[in-house]
Amino acid sequence: MIHPTRVLIADDHPMGADCIHAILEGYDDLIVVGTLGNGQAVIDQVDDLQPDVILMDLNMPGLSGLSATEILLERTPEMRVLILSMHDNPEYIATALRHGARGYILKDVPSEEIKIAVDTVMRGERYLCTGAEGALEPKDSDREPLTEREQTILLQLAQGKSNREVSDTLGISIRTVETHRKNIKRKLGISSTAGLTRYAMEHGVLQGTGASL
């Protein structure tokens, strides 16, 4: 027996969430396990709801869809997150993919495209809405930007906290902290902890601005 794909909808607009719910209910091989209005609720309830795919809005109150995606994938790397957004700017799409999203679809796509996107990521493939392929093209820049989670961890490290202290503060494993630390050093081209602290001071991270990141 083939089990239906379990889908969780995260969208702070009730009308939009209800519309997507109604669309997905029309498919026998999909089941909507919940609709939530913010990223923190997703983090808190994902273990109970056990979705196969999360349709995640980008802009939600409190914890954003991007931050929620990054935190979810820290804890469950195999989780499939599809960003569902009204923004078609390539930078939004590229940022979502950097945060680990498996795909990106616009809210005004035909209803059947949402089903196609869900099926695609369930096969382990990436799905991008029409015209989004340009987001995958490499852009010329001085360095790859830090994600929001990496900025948070950089702040913790710059305050002199050990990997274990960061792990305890953020509720993630020490190995995950170490992975983030390596990625931060690679992106910034810095090899030492002292260098990270100096960078954080020079770029206002220790004052909580993070403006230059």
Residues 75 and 117 in one domain: yes
Task: Quickly state the pLDDT bin for 192 (edges 50, 70, 90).
Answer: confident
Asked if residue 142 is part of any domain, the answer here is: no
Residues 172 and 90 in one domain: no
**Among 23-32, 130-139, 174-183, where is mean pLDDT lowest?**
130-139
Nearest to 126 by CA among 152, 104, 155, 144: 104
Residues 157 and 188 in one domain: yes
pLDDT in tens, 75-122: 888 899 999 988 877 778 888 888 889 999 988 888 899 999 999 999
Residues 70 and 132 in one domain: yes
Better pLDDT: 191 or 18: 18
Mean pLDDT across 36-52: 96
pLDDT in tens, 46-63: 999 999 999 999 889 888
Task: Quickly state the pLDDT bin for 206 (edges 50, 70, 90).
Answer: low
Q: Taking 60 as the threshold, does the pLDDT of residue 208 lie above it?
A: no
Residues 88 and 22 in one domain: yes
Residues 116 and 33 in one domain: yes
Residues 100 and 179 in one domain: no
Residues 130 and 197 in one domain: no
Residues 176 and 131 in one domain: no
Residues 95 and 194 in one domain: no
Asked if residue 117 is part of any domain, the answer here is: yes
Where a domain ends, among 136, 158, 183? Answer: 136
Where a domain ends, among 109, 136, 163? Answer: 136
- Domain span including residue 121: 5-136
pLDDT in tens, 120-171: 999 999 999 875 665 555 554 556 788 888 888 998 988 888 999 999 999 9
The total number of structural domains that make up the chain:
2
DSSP the chain: -PPPEEEEEE-S-HHHHHHHHHHHHT-TTEEEEEEESSHHHHHHHHHHH--SEEEEES--SSS-HHHHHHHHHHH-TT-EEEEEES---HHHHHHHHHTT-SEEEETTS-HHHHHHHHHHHHTT--EE-TTGGGGGS----SSPPPPHHHHHHHHHHHTT--HHHHHHHHT--HHHHHHHHHHHHHHHT--SHHHHHHHHHHTTGGGT--TT-
Can you give the pLDDT at residue 136? 59
